[in-house]
Amino acid sequence: MITLYTIGFTKKSAEEFFELLRHNNISKLVDIRISNSSQLAGFAKGKDLEYFVKQICGANYQHITDFAPTKDLLAKWQKKEVDWQEYTNVYLSLLKSRSIIRKYGIQHFDKACFLCSEETPEFCHRRLLVEYLKEHSTEEVEIVHLK
């Protein structure tokens, strides 16, 4: 069985965030944000996060922008120019057009945790991504959203 985890860093302290990763024995943190260098990200800025994840959790870090929505789609969602269903449809089409199943597969992500900024997974592309990976997998997949 393959286990895929997701997490958002918003409204989490660094202690809470890294303890969730460590407690769940995450092997890799996969950053799926468009940009991972915003000053507003605090402890979750890419270079810092890579260091912290390795030192605190003994896990690897990978930033995969193929898993991120486009800047245009994200902006439309944030401005409420598209509803969740439209966002979902466009995002899933992006995953298909980017051939993520062929390029990445799912085997490399067992015990990996997919990171985005959203506090919860309900309206976040991290949930859509792991569900897409599960749907296109020939193996049994469990999804765990860390909160």
Rounded to a whole number of angstroms, the distance between the first and last alpha carbons of the chain is 22
How confident is the model over 107-123, as pLDDT tens digits?
A: 899 999 999 989 999 99
Q: Is the pLDDT of residue 47 over 90?
A: no
Q: What is the pLDDT of residue 105?
A: 86
Residues 6+ apart with CB under 8 A from 64: 30, 31, 32, 104
The model's pTM is 0.93
Q: What is the pLDDT of residue 44?
A: 80
How confident is the model over 56-105, as pLDDT tens digits?
A: 999 999 999 999 999 999 999 999 999 999 999 999 999 999 999 999 98
Q: What is the pLDDT of residue 41?
A: 57
